[in-house]
Amino acid sequence: MLDNTGETIIGASVRVVGTKLGTVTDIDGKFTLANVEKGSTLVISYIGYTPQQVKFNGTPLTITLKEDAKALDEVVVMGYGVAQKRTKVTNSIAKVSEKTLTVGANANPAQALAGAVSGVKVDITSGSPAATPSITIRGGSNYDGGSNEPLIIVDGVIRSSLSDINPNDIESMDVMKDAGATALYGARAGNGVIMITTKQGKSGKANVTFNAKVGLNYYNLGYNMCSDEDYLYYYRLATQNCEWTLPGGKYAANYNSNLYGTNTPGGIGRTELSQGQSYNILRKTDDNAYLLQKGWSEMLDPVSDNYILYRNIDPLEVNGRSPYITQDYNASISGGNDRGRYYASLGLYDADGFIKGTFYKRYNFALTGSYKITKWLESNSVFNYTRANWLNDDPSLSTTYFMNRAMAYKFVRYRDEDGNELYGTNNPTINVNVNKGNFDRDYQSDKFSMTQSLTATLLPGLTLKGTMSWFYNEQYDESFNHKYITSQAGAVNPDGNNGVSRSYDTSAQFLRYFDQTYNLVANFNRVFAEKHTVNVMAGTEFYKRRYRGFNASGYNAPTGYFPGLGLTQNDADVQSRSMSSWHNEEAIMSYFGRAEYDYMDKYLFAATFRADGYSRLVNNKWGTFPGVSGGWVFSKENFWNKLGLENIITYGKLRASYGMNATINSSYLGYYTLQGAYSAYKYDGAYGYRISTLPNPNLKWEKTRTAEVGLDLGFLNNRFNLGMTYYNRLTMDKYSALSLPRTTGFSTVTYNNGQYRNAGVELDFQGTLLRTRDFQWTLNANITYNKNTIVKLPENGLKNNRQGGSEVYTGNGNETHYVGGYQEGQTPGSFVGYGVVKMARSQADIDALGDYVDTGTTNGAGVYANEAGRQRLLAAGYKNIVQLMPGDFIYEDRNGDNWVESKDRKVLGNLTPKWTGGFNTTLTWKGLSLYARFDMGFDFQVYDSNIAFWLGEGQGAMAFNDDVRNTWTPDNPGAKYPRVVWASQFGTDNYIRTNSFFTQNGSYLACRELQLSYALPKSICEKLACQGVTVSVTGQNLGYIKSCTIPLPDRTTYTNGNTAGNGGTYNVPRTLLFGLNVKF
């Protein structure tokens, strides 16, 4: 056994087809098999080489294996049953490997796409086990709140998302990015297409596979919070520095304000515990010193001579759990013969959430079968069913609990000294345990899809395929509140009237989707004169969706023992019930076709066409979407061999494509016209109907036009492969909501609003970096540069046809321009704020400012540096004025008038990475394998609003992270951060207003998965009566290499250029996963 260089291959597998005979090559690359009949077929395989079949003719054999160039030999799905070898593809279609999808334990396959495909950005916005990541291909087509989600097709069935799809059932996932390919799907493919084919059976004996994964999830806040003593120390200093409440910032020992005399973290006026007390903090006296024996601690108050008693109970321990468990189990069986094939699987995904009692559980069942009814007629059936149950949040907590919990002040009284559970305070510092069992929640969805097709071979190379696909999605949500606690008083006395709710709220919601797709496709594929390959496909399709739902709620039931809407009070005095129902229908009629031609696998051409008629558009129902692409495999030209380059660049192809498709943005078009445009309205005691939504019968398709050119290269017998693509996509006639004058009686009308361009470059690399007899190292990498630009907006008489935005100084005197909002030439995603010149380290820095004033504070206070500045503020009518102090920021005055105001803001950065990408690599040595997957983003900015709110004591009720130790004090004038002030936004506002100090470089490299696996030797597997056993340990979301302080720099929020932050509500946990795979 030899490789293509003449070296012997050790350990290659040799098997005789139809028998149990088999062996492996020895140290000299030789093998011996006895009792092999002449004419038998041998199958030889070895990692990194293409499997080969050889006929045994009765004499010794010399066999040469070729390196496996999978990247070029793989088949990609083009749509409607058409597949094509990678070497003949003239479009941008990326294939996602099965390993990428199944290494981790993911409730949603989209989670595995991060960094896996060039031009594809995946935003995992929540660590909730039921969260649905968002997918954007090549920057998307919307910048103003519309959807950028690609069209998702699973076995011919259109799905709204990848949620509830079992990754273990996926055979292939192909991502179509350019319009030359996606034009085949016309009106729904403007944001790209993700094509999923589930697993099918293969001919041969039955194969049974069992997978099990059990993971430990560790809560990942991403910040180090300060110690209890540091919190009290700096909170008391912050209270003392609160000059807007305490004139002069001086501490008064007998001052009885809300800050100092009552029951708050900043106040130590209380000396004894009471039943309704919300905080474990007291001023120490001889009478309460006994608490030191009950787990309390003490410290000296930094602003008085008193000692403080305190006890902290971590809300993480009260309301959460870490680690929490994820389980993923899958079993499948497949097999078949020359007449039919089958595949069946069962899956269970069971994941706990961080908050106690929250979870996501999914059951999957899949069944596929194909059967040759006759020589010319074949049937193919696909059946999938998913049942999901979940509880995302505890009902007593807000949706922003997760980050707020960490922000909230310490020392909340969650338990008394005897261990009894107490309520805590208002959200987000509630103790969920006091209401355990008081909230009934039932959230459930059932999804059923079925695809049935018949394929008839009419002539050699000519087939006719008819397909029927149904997708049924039903969701039911029900909730009921028993008697539950709403305050500390209720926790102390749950049978009383204070702090207890007995409204017995109940609600139910029922949703049902039913999608039907019917198509008929003819396909002709022939080779003429061994040089000309022709593939022509033509078809028609009808799609219909019906969506309906019902919602009802009520309260004031007589008892909490019998949940039910019928028991809620609803009479002339109390109208506690409300209900609504809705329905929506839409249909699309389509005609489409694709033609491909290649000459000797060298000159490639493809054209697609689709016409869609959409029921929702009135005067512009029909749209046509053409696409064309071509390729030249120059490595097959004679001159290439004459130049002697074939051994270096084995494969080379130039390709180009152009096409058009569209986007149906249902969120803008509204519900079914008759129901959505009218609503019930009561006038003079009688009900009637009024128009509530102004329809626009002249809406046109939101079209997308894409042009691209690419170069594909294979080096050293295709051991290394490189793909380069430039794309330019223009979205035209975008949907948007146009604001109307109030005199019209309507707030907005949907219309076609402008053009939006995405342009960029994609690089893809696949290669085997190192290969020996026992070792192999492979690498797949990609990187994308993308720039989004608003090209055209409707004429409105304003510069750049601006819509919204803020007027700011340019930095050239009083010259101004607009930032934020939307305007031609703008790159969306920018955010604005104040530039920080420096921190005033001493009074000398303040004295140097002259009559400097600052009125850019969040809550309208005027800040002055000296008496001259104070007089300027008084002359301008400012009442709430405070003095700039050492430890405060000095902000940039961009027009030179020594007065900082809103016009002195500037663009601080852009939250969208210009460069995105990722890589995965695998190192294999014998049965041991190490796999790693990373994704990355570069050249963008993030804003750490968390640290700003913590150190700024937003609302006077925030915790501190450990950076509080690096804030300015007279003893630490060189600190990194400004002085701490209680609710600083009411004063000099160093923290809460958006500024350049908290704007950071967001570039990152994230480790998504790291797996070590071991495949047991075949000798052991044979003893275990199985084909293979693999054990693994995997780490998911292990961390980032970054310079910013934000824990998850890939997750940011952006609103119309005015606000920015990392938006953290529920961070993705770190996971340690243990896996077992057994094949029989």
Q: What's the length of the chain?
A: 1080
How far is Cα 486 from Cα 52, in angstroms, rounded to an integer? 72
Are 126 and 486 contacting, i.e. CB atoms less than 8 angstroms apart? no
Are 595 and 627 contacting, i.e. CB atoms less than 8 angstroms apart? no
How far is Cα 309 from Cα 311, in angstroms, rounded to an integer? 7
Instruction: Name the pairing type of β-strands 578-599 and 603-614.
Output: antiparallel
First to last CA, the chain: 29
What per-residue confidence (pLDDT) applies to 260? 40
pLDDT bracket for residue 666 (50, 70, 90):
low
State the CB neighbour count (10 A cutoff) for residue 218: 14
How remote is the C-alpha of 45 from its chain's centroid? 40
Q: Which whole number is the average pLDDT over 668-694?
A: 59
Q: What is the pLDDT of residues 827-885, one digit of tens each?
A: 988 899 999 999 999 999 999 999 999 999 988 889 999 999 999 999 999 988 899 99
Across 38-52, b (16+ Cβ under 10 Å) vs e yields eebebebebebbeeb
Are 1048 and 1062 contacting, i.e. CB atoms less than 8 angstroms apart? yes
Are 180 and 657 contacting, i.e. CB atoms less than 8 angstroms apart? yes
Laid out side by side, the sheet with 899-900 consists of: 881-883, 862-864, 853-854, 899-900
Q: Which whole number is the average pLDDT over 319-344?
A: 92
Residue ranges of domains in the chain, CATH in brackets: 1-68 (2.60.40.1120), 69-198+698-792 (2.170.130.10), 228-310 (no CATH), 799-912+945-997 (no CATH), 913-944+998-1079 (no CATH)
Q: Which of 763, 714, 756 is closest to 736 using CA atoms?
A: 756
Q: What is the pLDDT of residues 451-508, one digit of tens each?
A: 999 999 999 889 999 999 999 999 999 988 888 888 878 877 888 888 888 888 899 9
Residue 1022's Cβ-side half-sphere holds a number of Cα atoms within 13 Å equal to 4
Q: pLDDT above 70 covers what percent of the chain?
A: 89
**pLDDT reading at 247 higher than 50:** no
Residue bearing tokens 């920021």: 889
Q: Which of 940, 1074, 928, 1075 is closest to 1004 using CA atoms?
A: 940
Q: Which of 21, 4, 3 is closest to 12 using CA atoms?
A: 3
* DSSP string for 669-726: H-S-HHHHSEEEEEETTEEEEEE-SB--TT---EEEEEEEEEEEEEETTTTEEEEEEE
Q: Which of 511, 452, 540, 548 is closest to 157 using CA atoms?
A: 452
Q: Which whole number is the average pLDDT over 578-585?
A: 84
Largest alpha-carbon pair distance within the chain? 109
* DSSP string for 867-895: HHHHHHHHHTT--SEEE--TT-EEE--SS
How remote is the C-alpha of 531 from its chain's centroid? 46
How remote is the C-alpha of 204 from its chain's centroid? 40
State the burial class of residue 1037 (Cβ atoms within 10 Å of its Cβ: 0-12, 13-18, 19+). Answer: buried
Q: What are phi and psi of 414, to 5 degrees?
A: -80, -25
What is the pTM for the complete model shown? 0.86
Name 874's Cβ contacts closer than 8 Å, sequence gap at least 6: 881
Residue bearing tokens 């919190």: 231
Continuous segment of H or E residues that includes residue 951:
helix 945-952
Range of weakest confidence among 210-219, 263-272, 536-545, 745-754: 263-272
How far is Cα 72 from Cα 75, in angstroms, rounded to an integer? 8
How far is Cα 325 from Cα 1033, in angstroms, rounded to an integer? 15
* Residue 588 in tokens: 């699309």
What per-residue confidence (pLDDT) applies to 315? 75
DSSP character at residue 408? B
DSSP character at residue 489? H
Sign (positive or negative) of CA dihedral 870, 876, 881, 886: negative
How far is Cα 450 from Cα 135, in angstroms, rounded to an integer? 25
Are 762 and 725 contacting, i.e. CB atoms less than 8 angstroms apart? yes
What per-residue confidence (pLDDT) applies to 454? 96
How far is Cα 419 from Cα 668, in angstroms, rounded to an integer? 54
What per-residue confidence (pLDDT) applies to 518? 96
What per-residue confidence (pLDDT) applies to 53? 85
* Residue 682 in tokens: 């009561």
**pLDDT reading at 583 higher than 90:** no
Higher pLDDT, 369 or 561: 369
β-pair partners for 215: 326, 1073
Range of weakest confidence among 68-82, 325-339, 1004-1018: 68-82
How far is Cα 22 from Cα 11, in angstroms, rounded to an integer? 12
Are 44 and 1 contacting, i.e. CB atoms less than 8 angstroms apart? yes
Q: Which of 121-135, 350-364, 787-801, 863-877 has the highest mean pLDDT?
A: 863-877
Name 249's Cβ contacts closer than 8 Å, sequence gap at least 6: 240, 241, 242, 243, 885
How far is Cα 917 from Cα 780, in angstroms, rounded to an integer? 11
What per-residue confidence (pLDDT) applies to 679? 58
